[in-house]
Amino acid sequence: MFVVPRKSSQNREIHKIEVLLNEHPQHPFDLAVYGDFIFWTDWVSHAVLRADKYTGNNVVTLRKNIARPMGIVAIANDTDCKFCHIEIVEVKKFSSWKQH
């Protein structure tokens, strides 16, 4: 998995591409960034995983055995979820990891 810095229309210079993970993402579908972590869904491992967004270390499987993991969204505990159409049960499943 690699990260490419976003390029604005005003700045056309080429940016450095930084490799975060070489081994773990087998077939990532979607990703989200929150706090110090990057989260992604993986079609081969049928899981939701996370890693340190700066180093790619500390890869943790948050949930596995998902038939078709698709999109992922990071929601903070203080987010007003009136607009969210997500089952609170699903949100709580991922709240077991602690943000430092």
Tens digits of residue pLDDT in 57-95: 888 998 889 888 888 877 776 666 655 555 544 444 454
Enter the tokens of residue 2. 């690699």
What tokens does 49 get? 């995983």
C-alpha 23/C-alpha 67 separation (Å) is 22
Q: What is the pLDDT of residues 18-66, one digit of tens each?
A: 666 656 666 677 888 888 888 888 888 888 888 888 888 888 998 889 8
pLDDT at 21: 61
Listed by start position, the domains of the chain span: 2-8+16-63
Is 0.85 surpassed by the pTM of this model?
Answer: no
Q: How many CB atoms lie within 10 A of CB 43?
A: 16
